[in-house]
Structure 1
Amino acid sequence: MIISISIILGVIVLATILFVNLSPQFGGKASDQQKEVYQKSKNYRDGVFVNTKEVQMDMSIKDMGKSIVGYLRSQPNTTPSNDIPVTKADSVSIADYSGKTRLIWFGHSSFLLQIDNKNILIDPMFGEVPAPHPMLGSKRFSKDLPIDIEKLPRIDAVLISHDHYDHLDYGSIQKLKDKVGTFYMPLGVGIHLEAWGINADRIVELDWWEETTFEGLEFKCAPAQHFSGRGFGDRAKTLWSSWVIQSDTENIFFSGDSGYADHFKEIGAKYGPFDFAMMECGQYNEKWPDIHMFPEETVLAGLDVKAKKIMPIHWGAFKLAMHTWTDPVERVTKKAKELNIEVIIPRIGESIFLEGDGTLNNEWWRQ
């Protein structure tokens, strides 16, 4: 019996080692030359990227055990009882679109932004499971996407906030890479895309507060309070960020993943006010308060960046925490009403226009 158990454990360990080392999902590793570039960043220290303030990310064994049990235990309403309804987008109407700036939400933190006759994808995670293997994560709340990746038109640019699986998906990048012009991301994330077959000359990496221009648009890499990593031993080896997207007439903010901190006020003072802000609101827990915002903090952050309208993101697609799947939207709408800031909550696939009165907020999640 002991020998049999030892053999089984050995096989499991060997399979895990082979999977981690051979699976392309885990991405690439920085070369010594690339690390020398990172050394110039104020956010890079002792071989890893750091937040502006000390952030507690390591749970005790007791809290970790509670989190795993809480996640695995069957709880009411942590996932929808039926597939979330998705508004389908016509591929021709997307390809030929030349109207006012609009966004189409794919759930969680993924968007198609159509601005100045350009197509921009933000954190394009279109996979079914936010994990390196389908057995290691929960499935998307909806079977369909607003439009299949294969039917998307040419994408002028992709913005990536960090390298976690629910924001940077290997399968999605594989399907997208031949139809994308340029990929923009914070420092270090490019090593994954290079490992996945994308030439370095199509990858632009920025540090916090660095800016670049793209065919009349401004992309500005801004701070976030979070962390990164895709495998064992690579935590904080790449940077995480938020993004500012500016045209001649519009100013848009994308928070990425972030805990609530002073950087939102700094961003508002430097780049605000914003016409529209996509603000993280989901996958929170009292055991990791520094790296994800609670819904009430989402609203405060929207005020800090001086946003005219906010949209809660990072919810509506995956179960990554123990709260009910509607808790983010219920709490953020309540707090937004209290603090008198306009909040927009579209259905997945519904067009979002920067102009308007927030009529998309029709409480579809209750239906």
Structure 2
Amino acid sequence: MRRSFQHFFMTTGGLVGTVLLAAVAFLFLSPELGGKPTKDERLAFAQKGHYRDGEFQNLQPTQVMTGGSTVGVLWKFLTQTVPDAEPTGPLPWQPLDSLTITRKTPELVRVTWFGHSASLVEIAGQNLLLDPMLSIGMGPVRWATPKRYNPELAIRPEQLPPLAAVLISHDHYDHLDYQTVQKIKDKVGLFCVPLGIGAHLRAWGVVPKHIREVSWGDSVRLPGLTLISTPSRHFSGRGLGNRNSTLWTSWVVRASRTRLFYTGDGGYGTHFAEIGRQYGPFDLALVECGQYDDDWAEIHMKPEQSVQAALDVRARVMLPVHWGAFTEARHAWNESVRRATAAATAHPNLQLTTPYLGQPVVLGAPLPQKRWWEGPLQKRHE
């Protein structure tokens, strides 16, 4: 029940999830819930073309739940056992020394994945952090939500050097973590976030001048870099009654000679091909690949769809993310990477890389491709 609570609550708004969150989070007024956009902000959102009746909308019709009734979905979570839903022990990981992050040349392009979607991107001499979730547990009800497979991360948030920008895809707890933000907020130049998420950050003490809210198509310029918000197909909300009150996004990171893409969370859709036409090709794409289910088939991709998304955006290298940290769906913990690897073999122009947690992927160098997620797990790699 614990490992399934997050997705059940977020996708169904079910009675059990409502009661638990209301009783625990709201009773104690947890700061994890964040803030709410102001009336003036909501009026401004309505001018963007994808905000109606108090909610942001996807580009194509999207159902959050596609697999039946709330009661039926809850019954599955309570009664069905999934083989190998969690690994037998901690996953292999490689410590990341903060000194190696600060000592670099502008030509270096390096991506380090920490598990789930949190990743460090070093490009054009700048440090970018994607979806800052570097805690062991998540949300205001941590006894009920999934716990990270590994009790230790490749780097602690307080060890990170100054960050030119933090890029957030949406406001779910497994992508925007209150505790991580508290530990890094004073070393971040800009929090680049979809519309509405600024309210969360302001509630958490982030200085407004360090927050840049964007809609799809907006860009943020840093020295040597352009960061562009592009569509995704998902939903948002951190508490009761605020479903879709903030926007969700994918991100393009463009330097003079390198282009990266991060899908954020979301289902497969026509937006990937359009992103590929407008902003591709990409040297590397970090692609959501995990936590899928037939019951929410339009808001998370199956692994084969993840590979197709990488092809649509015209990526040369695909780095699967959104796995390797938490169990939030009814599939084996490593099923997504197994299926994605198999699907990618049919496309020789697409390379798939599967680094250990904390193992850097350096563009222009040999890609990590060891199938460490098969067979016995080894805990640490120096």
The reply to whether TM is greater than 0.5 is: yes
Instruction: Report the secondary structure of 1:142's partner residue.
Output: coil
Match of 1:103 among 107, 111, 136: 111
Q: Residue 49 of structure 1 aligns to which amino acid in structure 2? A: F
Q: So what's the TM-score if we normalise by structure 2?
A: 0.89
Equivalent position to 2:83, from 76, 80, 85: 76
Q: Map Cα deviations across residues 264-304 of structure 1 (whole Å, 9 max, x no partner).
A: 00100100000000010000001111000000000111110
1:298 equivalent in structure 2: 306
1:3 matched to which residue of 2? none
Structure 1 distance, partners of 2:251, 2:344, is 22
5+ residue gaps, structure 2: 1-17, 377-382
**Letter matched to residue 34 of structure 1:** E
Q: Is the 8 A contact 1:282 1:313 kept in 2?
A: yes
| Residue of 25, 29, 43 corresponding to 1:19 | 25
4+ runs of 1 displaced by more than 4 Å? 12-15
Shift, 1:97, TM fit: 2.8
Partner of 1:268: 276
Distance 1:357 1:273 in 2: 20
Matched position secondary structure for 1:267: helix
Question: Identity of counterpart residues, as a percentage?
Answer: 41
The aligned amino acid for 1:307 is A
Amino acid at match of 1:172: T
Contact 2:25–2:141 (Cα < 8 Å) also in 1:
no
From the CA coordinates, give the structure whose radius of gyration is larger.
1
Mapped pair 1:334 → 2:342: yes
Listed as ranges, the gaps of 5+ residues in structure 1 are 1-11
1:162–1:168 CA contact under 8 A, matched in 2: yes
Local SS of the residue matching 2:361: strand
Quick one: distance in 1 between partners of 2:304 and 2:284?
18
Q: Give the secondary structure class of the aligned counterpart of 1:119.
A: strand
The one-letter amino acid paired with 1:96 is R
Partner of 1:353: 362
Partner of 1:60: 69
Q: Per the alignment, do residues 233 and 153 of structure 1 end up closer, same or farther by CA in structure 2, a change over 3 Å counting?
A: same
Aligned to 1:228: 236
Judged with a 3 Å threshold, the aligned counterparts in structure 2 of structure 1 residues 26 and 60 are, in CA distance, closer, same or farther, namely same
- Equivalent residue letter for 1:320: E
Q: In 2 relative to 1, CA 81–270 (structure 1 residues): closer, same or farther, beyond 3 Å?
A: same
| Counterpart check, 1:165 vs 2:173 | yes
Q: Which amino acid aligns with 2:278?
A: K
1:38-57 paired onto structure 2 within 5 Å: 38-57=45-64
Contact 1:226-1:258 at 8 Å conserved across structures: yes
Residue correspondence of structure 1 range 318-333 to structure 2 within 5 A: 318-333=326-341
Q: 1:33 aligns with which of 19, 31, 40?
A: 40
Q: Which has the higher contact order (CA 8 A, sep 6+)?
A: 2
| Alpha-carbon offset, residue 179 of structure 1 | 1.0
Contact 1:95/1:152 (<8 A) preserved:
no
Q: Distance in 1 between matches of 2:21 and 2:178?
A: 21
Q: How many Å apart are 1:128 and its aligned residue? A: 1.0
- Secondary structure of 2:165's counterpart equals strand
Structure 1 residue 357 displacement after superposition? 4.4
**Residue 135 of structure 1: CA displacement?**
0.7
Of 250-259 and 336-345, deviating more is 336-345
Shift in Å, 1:75 = 3.1
Contact 2:232 2:263 in 1 (8 A): yes
Provide the residue aligned with 1:362 in structure 2: 370
Residues 319 and 352, structure 2, Cα contact 8 Å, conserved in 1:
yes
* More off after superposition, 34-43 vs 127-136: 127-136
In 1, Cα distance between equivalents of 2:269 and 2:198? 27
Q: Find the aligned partners of 2:75 and 2:232 in 1 and give their Cα distance.
A: 27
Bigger drift between 299-308 and 338-347 goes to: 338-347
**1:260–1:351 distance in 2 versus 1, CA, 3 Å:** same
Deviates more, 1:61-70 or 1:26-35: 61-70
CA distance in 2, matches of 1:329, 1:14: 33
The aligned residue for residue 201 of structure 2 is 193
Determine the C-alpha separation between the residues in 1 that align with 2:24 and 2:267: 34
How far 1:95 sits from its partner (Å)? 2.4
Q: Decide which moves more: 76-85 or 222-231.
A: 76-85
- What RMSD in Å do the two structures reach over aligned CA positions? 1.7
SS at match of 1:194: helix
